[in-house]
Amino acid sequence: MEKSVGFFNFWEYDYGMKKVTKVEKHKRPSWDEYFLNMVEMIGTRGTCDRGYAGAVIVKDKRILATGYVGAPAGLPSCDDIGHEMHTVINEDGTESRHCIRTSHAEQNAINNAARVGVAIEGSTMYCKMIPCYKCAQSIINSGIVRVVALKDYHGAKRTKEIFKQAKIKFTILGAMEIYKDM
């Protein structure tokens, strides 16, 4: 029988009167795993059900700022009044749909740092998906030097190009994020 308690897995074997328990040693997450786990939690504060994305800006293993998908402060959110959808025609002729009511998690993290005077130059941003083109521009201009994303994003072709041009290191750990009404 397998049980989980916190970060430990236990296996219990019953051999008549003798009970043998094997305890699997706790494996600490890498720093990237640690901050990406935070991204998931921060994203739960989001106010647009198309993403619930979060972002964390880190330097020297210290959190500088966080952000999640949400309407500008004091304005109604998607959860309150619905999505503000726009259709974009891409260079290859394909169409994609985007909700523009909310600010992206990456932009909100950068804005939150700026609001309280936290310098983010030379930092790393952890996020749910590789950022969109506009967020990528802000990432470059704010001095962030590395981006780690859990998933790829269908609209990130230009992001990848300008990150390479600006020498921003980026890592995408998973497959493309697929969601309704892309």
Residues taking part in catalysis:
106
3-class DSSP assignment, residue 28: coil
Strand 146-151 to 169-172 pairing: parallel
> How far is residue 152's CA from residue 172's CA, in Å, rounded to a whole number?
6
Residue found under tokens 């890498």: 30
State how far the Cα of 137 lies from the Cα of 159, in Å rounded to an integer.
8
DSSP code of residue 152? B
Do the Cβ atoms of 47 and 79 come closer than 8 Å?
yes
Q: How far apart are CA 106 and CA 135, in angstroms?
A: 6
Residue 144 CA, chain-centre distance (Å), reads 15
Question: Position of tokens 């950068």?
Answer: 110
Strands 124-129 and 146-151: parallel
